[in-house]
Structure 1
């Protein structure tokens, strides 16, 4: 069982989003020492020869020189080294930047943690943008940041844009400003805006940041200008009025909550004492509830939501689950109690206590679609259980953990499904009879003779590795909903490009997790 982290830091540890791959060492010859160099004989000098060639010039004048500028390679950008991710720097080369950005934004990963991990790896790995233009590089960068924000991974999104240079353009700054508003780091972005006011896309950010710096007079003057020239929507102007002059509105009803607030509107509502519920807002807003300002229930709900999509580590979720005793019953409180009782049983060392509490904890986590995080936390600590049902459940939990291959060596129970799961975890599902059509499609994906469609072969042959992986992820999403041909092709491509662990985990999760 992993050590829990009871605090939710402002910066999520970025390495927790990735599957660490072995580092491939490059064989290098050590340089010669001075003694070695002196000991080596100098090369034999060859006698001069007369070149029986015509003269290369007929005069002593300086020849005319033609100069052709060489285009510099784009600078690699990413938070995690290629030595960790195993992906090449030229992952995106040759791909159309606009189509690539669209693929990055739409590839489905919601119901499969293995696909989530792969997408985070693609988004955070150090890579070069396509060799097209500066605008092409910007298109891909902004798509990476936007998808991270969409997933709720605000800390990595903020770090990526900071690494790229958040003040290089208004589009970069807008994304950086939004991220800092949700993580509580707006002082840094406001300081940058004070130094370069032209970065603001509207007067709202200028007014907010001016007030944050303590210059309320200048903020009020800017707001008056915005009113006079109608530079902002009326709802935003009214909200800024309340923000700068709260005493005037003390006896008035609160403003209506907007359906789709931006991060600045969200923070302004919080500042006037009317915080918005993040449950119905995009995932990125859930990060605001991880701060100490939020109550425990809000923190728990936000942590579950972010862990479900892989944007928060399981260990941080466990830290919140075990922070204190449940305050009530029903819903999330039942999950908290079930996990706490199971952890207590695990720490007691009693196999009987574990067998008794495991089914309840598993049912609670299954209801929240948090089975894989639960497996990552507790699978290694599960003892050998005598009760057949508990032992079978514990084995399936181990198959959802990083130790799936070791678990496959000691299957619990008999039957075609058990045999197939064990074979799949070892990477040889074709050695047994598939129990279902879905299992048959998975087995086809592990057949070395499975051919890829011509368009996927063309991507690989053209060096479009990243685009080919995204295509396989799209097909896996289609295969998960019943298109068995797409499922087999997706797994075959993952294995073809060296993503064997991803292929096995994704297939095991597809078979073991019930999703509607």
Structure 2
């Protein structure tokens, strides 16, 4: 049965949907998103663009987004006295606090309500938006939980929603579009121009652009840009008004040749018959992408940010495009493994090579698994596992088949692979208890899964970095200072970064990051992260 994409977090958190660049320095923009559509402008301070309901008004002059208070540029982010902020920050106790909204309650996330403690908004936001695209699957799930958790706003938030926007931007960067849209909706902040731009782009990539255009047209505070006006007028059937808007903009020199060509072709493709298709802009925005799709020249999302992949997992696109898009989103941990299961098994592949090799291998295994044919499972498992490793879908595969495979007690290579797959699943502890180790490496994996490493000999250099975190844990000085300074959320983010550095060769970061997880009672996260370090080929 085909299961549509939706809210997804793996691990120990059972979550319900409520609604449907590295190391940023002080002074850098909080958002790392450079591909947002110019759909609306931010009204100049003290002005409101008035327009009759249902009409699109001309945009006011765009102004810079409000910034949260910053610390002294010469002040280090963490002080030796325990990471306490020097300046006294205040916020209204009874005002609106969009930064506090979340889709996951503290009872479900396991995080305290005051996870940001005395951290200041800009520093928390910068910590949230650092690049973590190469993180391990378990780290990504932890990050998603932090981004979606309901928590008290930072002490200086002032109801401005700076941290909310940073969280939304990070979700967009990870490809978690439905989660980002739900967070905006829950915060009731879609009338904020900055957040509306994000909601508008999510709508474009998920096929709900008409709803977004309707909201834009009915809200005078959302002043549409030229591109937004032309697109939404066309979507609402006002083709003449859209054409006049574009012609006026061209006459005034407000749009370049390529933009004018794309929008003109979008409005009337017949006028441009025989002419070359305009070059895609750099970067491509969701609005650009939607217009290229509208003129019958859809751009492949393979080389675009992962968020764009969401646009290709609907049935309007070819099977191959759907599969490749779902593979990217599944590897990112933002859609459920059942989506790729449904796509891989939808029909028989009609070609060979590339994605079709993965489809054929998956179907051979899935058919054997469904029939409980041990001989065929033994033959097909090594092949499909190699194909899943090509696209970093090992954890998703383990979520689907891990426990049952491990319980089959397969012989030889298939049995070794099944054991490792089982350790990558949520039932890793039961898999470990029921397995007899064949060598020192398996003995270490079992001890790691059970958290019982005292006296166990680590089999290699990486294992020697992991073991101390479970025997004599010692977080880094930076993470410990954040923890001592009542900045738990930032300490967890620092630990995620330290482990990512460890994957790239700084093994001390592995020890310190895992130590922090254990010190703050994230035991399951620590064990599953350590298992992924040992079992997944993600080392730099």
Give the TM-score, by structure 2 length: 0.81
User: Equivalent residue for 1:338?
Assistant: 361
Asked if the contact 2:142/2:525 (under 8 Å) is kept, the reply is yes
Structure 2 gaps, min length 5: 16-90
Distance 2:368 2:151 in 1: 46
Q: Kindly tell me: are residues 70 and 218 of structure 1, through their superposed partners in 2, closer, same or farther at Cα, counting changes over 3 Å?
A: closer
Displacement after TM superposition at 1:182 (Å): 0.5
User: Equivalent residue for 2:179?
Assistant: 156
Asked if the contact 2:361/2:387 (under 8 Å) is kept, the reply is yes
Secondary structure, in 3 states, of the residue corresponding to 1:429? Answer: coil
- Which one scores higher on RCO, CA 8 angstroms, separation ≥ 6? 2
Name which of 39, 50, 71 aligns with 2:93: 71
User: Equivalent residue for 1:42?
Assistant: none
User: Equivalent residue for 1:51?
Assistant: none
User: Equivalent residue for 2:397?
Assistant: 374
Instruction: Indicate the larger mover: 103-112 or 276-285.
Output: 103-112
Distance 1:333 1:95 in 2: 49
User: Equivalent residue for 2:83?
Assistant: none
Distance 1:360 1:263 in 2: 37
User: Equivalent residue for 2:11?
Assistant: 19
Displacement after TM superposition at 1:278 (Å): 0.9
User: Equivalent residue for 2:258?
Assistant: 235
Alignment of 1:40-79 (within 5 A): 71-72=93-94, 74=97, 76-79=100-103
Displacement after TM superposition at 1:233 (Å): 3.4
Q: Kindly tell me: are residues 262 and 200 of structure 1, through their superposed partners in 2, closer, same or farther at Cα, counting changes over 3 Å?
A: farther
Q: Kindly tell me: are residues 182 and 390 of structure 1, through their superposed partners in 2, closer, same or farther at Cα, counting changes over 3 Å?
A: same
Instruction: Indicate the larger mover: 141-150 or 236-245.
Output: 236-245
Displacement after TM superposition at 1:510 (Å): 0.5
User: Equivalent residue for 2:459?
Assistant: 435
Distance 2:474 2:372 in 1: 50
Displacement after TM superposition at 1:96 (Å): 2.4
Distance 1:347 1:246 in 2: 49
Instruction: Indicate the larger mover: 349-358 or 379-388.
Output: 379-388
Asked if the contact 1:307/1:370 (under 8 Å) is kept, the reply is yes
1:8-32 Cα offsets, whole Å, 9 max, x none, are: 35xx1x2x22534489xxxxxxxxx
Asked if the contact 2:216/2:224 (under 8 Å) is kept, the reply is no
Asked if the contact 2:482/2:488 (under 8 Å) is kept, the reply is yes
**Does residue 419 of structure 2 align to residue 395 of structure 1?**
yes
Asked if the contact 1:78/1:125 (under 8 Å) is kept, the reply is yes
1:243-293 Cα offsets, whole Å, 9 max, x none, are: 112221123222223342111011001111111111111111111101221
Secondary structure, in 3 states, of the residue corresponding to 1:446? Answer: helix
Alignment of 1:49-198 (within 5 A): 71-72=93-94, 74=97, 76-134=100-158, 137-198=160-221
Displacement after TM superposition at 1:412 (Å): 4.6
Displacement after TM superposition at 1:316 (Å): 0.5
Q: Kindly tell me: are residues 423 and 109 of structure 1, through their superposed partners in 2, closer, same or farther at Cα, counting changes over 3 Å?
A: farther
Runs of 4+ aligned structure 1 residues displaced above 6 Å come to none
1:329-353 Cα offsets, whole Å, 9 max, x none, are: 1111011111111111111122222
Corresponding residue pairs, total: 462
User: Equivalent residue for 2:325?
Assistant: 302
1:79-110 Cα offsets, whole Å, 9 max, x none, are: 22222111122222322222222221225252
User: Equivalent residue for 1:450?
Assistant: 473
1:105-125 Cα offsets, whole Å, 9 max, x none, are: 225252411011101101111
Distance 2:218 2:495 in 1: 45
User: Equivalent residue for 1:496?
Assistant: 519
Larger Cα-atom Rg: 1
